[in-house]
Structure 1
Amino acid sequence: MVRTGLLGIVALALLQGAALGQMHGQHASEAACDEPTLRCATTATPAFGPDGTLWLAWMAGGQVSVASSQDAGRSFSVPVQVPTMRLNLDWGPDARPKIVVDRKGGIALAFSIFRDEAFNGQVLYTRSADGGKSFAELKPITANNESQRFEALALDQDGTVFTAWLDKRNRVPAKETGRKYEGAGLFFASSRDGGATYAEARLAREGTCECCRLGLAFAAPGRPAVIFRNIFDGGVRDHAVMTFTDISTPGEIHRVSNDDWQINACPHHGPSLTVAPSGTYHVAWYTNGKARKGLFYAHSRDEGRTFSEPMPLGRPGRNPARPFVLAGQAGTVMVWKEFDGEKTSVQMTISRDDGETWSPPKTISSTTDTSDHPLLVSNGRQTYLSWMTKADGYRFTAIEDQP
């Protein structure tokens, strides 16, 4: 959420059930400890550098830290705390620090904080130009003082950093003129200097759901694609994809699926998007709509204009949640979480034919306590699972080929 009332939160909790709430991730109070170290992290986000170095950004102890690994996550360098003071970091279920590393080794970082007790957020960014030894002073992504949250970062082939986020700046003008205002706006900006400065924020789409993470990828050089939970007529919060004409020009939106989830509350359960080398869009999402409920996958061969029939994921009795999909040269990998009443497991399936067929799901990791969302990252040759757990610490696991 960018701002959510208590009634909305309670309504959603009753709707989805306690077990699903456990699956949805951690709040700051559920951290293993209250220090800025990795073992205390609630969320961790990986990124590979051009030389194969693994970089990891995490939230813990009111700070965002960054460290690197030369041995595929078995050990990490001494972490650098990006802010030197404790911040009121955004601890929402869909919040985490975002990190990208360019070809010159420059590191762009962004995350959000809460500015008040009403969950109004602010997106902050910084950059390291010395290989992660230090970071520049934190700056807001936009000068506007209304709420911004759920930022996403992606790196173009030419080194341009593109960012999109959810923004509530237009709610005040709407109220002043007596117009109804729902949700938030999808805003964006880009950086030509590796994330040191960003162009002025611009509106891509008004009327989006205000409380779910975005999925962001490049469909082609200079053409970002964003998947988000849109508010359609009648208060239906289903997913949509927007492909930009160029780095500065938003495109039309196209509906991913008619799930008919009519809800006036915050799902806190965003989608995932990846674009394969073939140009196929692969998407995965959660819904609790009238037409379908649970986790689903679909693909598009025409830049998101139309999508395949949604394919259900996971076992319904185990509350499948938090899907993530990543396409590479060797195939497309998809992971999600399930809860059997005692353990949370990460399930995985792989497609070798660009989403036409998928392997039988299998468990690749599990834990008995709370955990972050499972993420996938690739160095161009190998795909890895990145998963922060409270009981077992950080896990970085190579995805092995399966028949």
Structure 2
Amino acid sequence: MVAVRCAGLLLAALLAAGSAFAQHEHKAHGEGKKGRPPPPELGATAAVDAKGAIWAAYAEAGHVLVRGSDDAGKSWSAPVRANPAAEPIGASGDSRPKIATGPGGELYVTWTKPLAKPYTGDIRFSRSLDGGKSFSAPVTVHTDRQEITHRFDSVAVNAAGQVFLAWIDKRDQVAAGKGYRGAAVYFAVSDDRGASFRGDFKVADYSCECCRIALLPRADGSVLALWRHVFEPNIRDHGIAQLNADGSAGPLRRATFDDWRLDACPHHGPSLAAEANGRLHAVWFTQAPGKAGVHYGRLREGGVDAQRRVGGDAAEHADLAIDGKRVAVAWKEFDGTKSRLRAMVSEDGGDKWREHELFATGEASDQPRVLVRQGRFHVFWHTRERPLAVVAVP
């Protein structure tokens, strides 16, 4: 796993190694230390469809595999390849295959295909219109075909069935030369269930180079994007903007205010969810002085309400979901021996919380994902010990 196990050691590692995280991620597919097998690439994502089935996408031997479960992860269907021909696939850290479901049972899968040059990639897309039995031939979504960074893709589907795909892009850095902070956020939209895409539409300059983007469909058909942004001169807090189906984007607004100053990328993106009334909830990571760790808060214009630390000093890679007024946050936390999957639940919109430990593993593990299935929270956690594990939150 690219992810550093102890959040308390993250800043020191970054300062010592600069962009070592990104360099590690772009090792050739299958490369490991001399004489040892390569570490497992466990990056995976899960989504729940309208009927309550859980769908998971993950990488194995150059293929993105998709499997479904009708019984909350107790059993899974046989894997189906989203890409018939093997190719490099980013499947570690904040880079991983993604899956989203459409209102008609469509399955949409995206991933980053690393290219020959370090830190470069293409955003790939495939769809299934027959309930996961087969997938379309994968295509590259963006029209820009330079061998540069197009990476850290995220996918979301609005209520009308339009598919939004966002990614981190360095075309503007290449064009500007020196003096450009980080990268940029771009997106594309499909109006025909993924048969074609319109784009590339720019959201904002100066995003962080290698943190995942959180996407949240809204009732009006737009999608909110939350990402780690590089505010002047080197403040890596978070920005938020609205993506519209016509290709326009709302203004960038600052979403978190920790003042984390860093000249490197922490590979630690945020997550975003909303109540029915539109109130936004988020989890994110910072190493700002006096605030180091994972944080939860309710986002508002110009500030954050109810901000609080999540877990202990080693907490990392949190995710959240909302069902009515109920909020669930999950994260993993390394205790020196095992990675522990933990969760906390609020019944009142994020004011009071109860905490649970769900399980622990001494083997390699991915980042957790919180799902809402039939009115109950579950956590999807892909580990070497328990692949495609789904754990109900008490």
Which TM-score band (shorter chain)?
0.7 to 0.9
SS in 1 for 2:305: coil
Segment of structure 1 superposing worse, 103-112 or 243-252: 243-252
SS of aligned partner of 2:174: helix
TM-score (norm: length of structure 2): 0.87
| Corresponding position: 1:313 with 2:310 | yes
Report Cα offsets for 1:34-79 as digits up to 9, x if no partner: 9xxxxx7612211122222221111122210011122221111121
- How far residue 390 of structure 1 moved from its aligned partner, in angstroms, is 1.3
Question: What is the alpha-carbon distance in structure 2 between the residues aligned to residue 269 and residue 356 of structure 1?
Answer: 25
The residue correspondences of 1:4-403 to structure 2 (distance < 5 A) are 13=13, 15=15, 42-145=42-145, 146-175=148-177, 180-244=179-243, 248-300=247-299, 302=300, 304-308=301-305, 310-316=307-313, 319-329=314-324, 331-359=326-354, 361-400=355-394
Structure 1 residues 16 and 101, CA, compared in 2 at 3 Å: closer, same or farther? farther
Aligned mates of 1:11, 1:398 — CA distance in 2:
33
Mapped to 1, the partners of 2:246 and 2:12 lie a distance apart of 36
8 Å contact 1:12–1:267 — kept in the other structure?
Answer: no
- For 2:358, the aligned partner's letter is I
Give me the whole-angstrom Cα distance separating, in 1, the residues matched to 2:302 and 2:60. Answer: 40
User: Between Structure 1 and Structure 2, how many residues are aligned?
Assistant: 372
Quote how far apart the aligned CAs of 1:380 are.
4.4
Q: Give per-residue Cα distances to partners, 1:81-112, cap 9 Å, x unaligned.
A: 12223211114410111111212222111110
Aligned to 1:37: none
Deviation at 1:246, TM superposition (A): 5.9
Which runs of 5 or more residues in structure 1 are unaligned? 1-9, 35-39
Change (3 A) 1:234 1:48: same
Tell me the alpha carbon deviations over residues 362-398 of structure 1, each in whole angstroms, 9 at most, x when there is no partner: 2112111110001011234222110011123331112
Paired letter, 2:205: E
| Post-superposition offset of 1:328 | 1.0
- The 8 Å contact of residues 41 and 388 in structure 1, kept in 2 or not, is answered as no
8 A contact 1:288–1:294 mirrored in 2: yes
- Where do 5+ consecutive residues of structure 2 fail to align? 1-9
1:144-167 C-alpha deviation (Å, 9 max, x unpaired) = 123211111111111111111111
Identical aligned pairs, as a percentage? 30
Residues 242-269 of structure 1: per-residue CA shift (max 9 Å, x gap) = 2346653211222223222211111101
Alignment TM-score, normalising by the size of structure 1: 0.85
